[in-house]
Structure 1
Amino acid sequence: MMANHRSTRFSLGSALFDLLDPIPFGFFVATLIFDIIYANTAEILWVKGASWLVSIGLVFAIIPELINLYNVWFNKRRGRMHGEAANFWLNVVGIVAAIVNAFVHSRDAYAAMPDGLWLSIVTVATLAIGRIILSGRNVTYKEFNNERA
């Protein structure tokens, strides 16, 4: 039996990135859900909750994006893996959309829609596409022989 494995090194930065990276995505998805509920019910509670969620998501997005910046562009000890640059730029676009979304949500509740909903969709879509591209790096292909050693 033969298996092709890509060797990876453990580092504190990659462990911290893997731990913290899903947190802002969850907050941004919750923001999108709250915006959808507000668009259907016009209950002010939901848009105020969405404004808090997008703000907290932006706070939690700082550390993983700085680690990602270093790993993609400045870390010379390891090679850049397939899709990391695309994931980085999609994360940047998503975070910029979330920053604009935070400013939109700071307006009156009735003025936050439909711009807040569209910005939430753009934020979640770009981060989701980046995660899909990045998930391809974890796939390993194994080659099996039927012969027994």
Structure 2
Amino acid sequence: MTAPASRQQSSLANSIYQLFNPIPFGFFVAALIFDVVYFQTAEMMWSKSAAWLITIGLFFAIIPRLINLVHVWIPRGRVVLPAEKIDFGFNFIGILAAILNAFIHSRDAYAVMPSGLILSVITVACIAVSAIIASTFYAIGRTHNV
């Protein structure tokens, strides 16, 4: 069995990616919690707060997604594994759902449900699956000294 090709990444880009990547997930989970509370109580404050959380999460998602885009689709002489592309795809779908969710949440508070809640669930689920795939990929990569 041959070892995979060595990975040549910018350590600065990798550090920035590792620093900013978990931040949007926290905002999107908080927005999902606020959407669930709004769905139960119909208190407008929760819907507006969820809209802000989604917007801030999207703002923080820009940098790691751009780094991941370059890392996966412009590999510069290294082999890109299918798990990396799947990770990118789930993140991409999650971010698209969050963008659509931001537009849904810009409506009047009573027009947000149930589509806002459904999109929040899709966003969190996609990014959670992506995190699981990425952690599995990095754990396997460390054991094989990639």
TM superposition score normalised by structure 1:
0.86
What is the aligned partner in structure 2 of residue 54 from structure 1? 54
Give a deviation string over 1:13-70, Cα, whole Å, max 9, x none: 1111011000011110010000001001111110000000000111111110000000
Instruction: Read off the aligned partner of 1:84 and give its amino acid letter.
Output: E
Deviation of the 1:8 alpha carbon: 5.8
1:95-142 per-position Cα deviation (integer Å, ceiling 9, x unaligned): 110010000000011100000000000000000001111111222549
Structure 2 length-normalised TM: 0.87
Taking the aligned partners of 1:93 and 1:52, their CA distance within structure 2 comes to 20
Identify unmatched segments of 5+ residues in structure 2.
Answer: none
**Deviation of residue 7 (structure 1)?**
6.5
- Structure-2 separation of matches of 1:25 and 1:73: 23
Identical aligned residues as a percent: 52
Is 2:107 the counterpart of 1:135? no
Contact kept? 2:7, 2:78, Cα under 8 Å: no
Report the AA paired with residue 54 of structure 2.
V
Structure number with larger C-alpha Rg: 1
Where do residues 4-15 of structure 1 align in structure 2 (5 Å cutoff)?
A: 11-15=11-15
How many residues of Structure 1 are paired with residues of Structure 2 in the alignment?
Answer: 138
For residues 78 and 33 of structure 1, the distance between their equivalents in structure 2, rounded to whole angstroms, comes to: 40
Structure 1 residue 83 displacement after superposition: 1.0
- What is residue 89 of structure 2 aligned with on the other side? 89
Counterparts of 2:6 and 2:76, CA distance in 1: 16
Distance 1:133 1:36 in 2: 26
For 1:83 and 1:53, locate their aligned partners in 2 and report how far apart those are by CA, in whole Å. 29
Does the aligned pair in 2 maintain the 1:82–1:137 contact within 8 Å? no
Counterpart of 1:119 in structure 2 is 119
The structure whose RCO (Cα within 8 Å, separation 6+) is larger is 1
What is aligned with 1:73?
Answer: 73
**Unaligned runs of at least 5 residues, structure 1:** 143-149
Question: Separation in 1 of the partners of 2:118 and 2:68?
Answer: 26
Q: CA RMSD in A?
A: 1.8
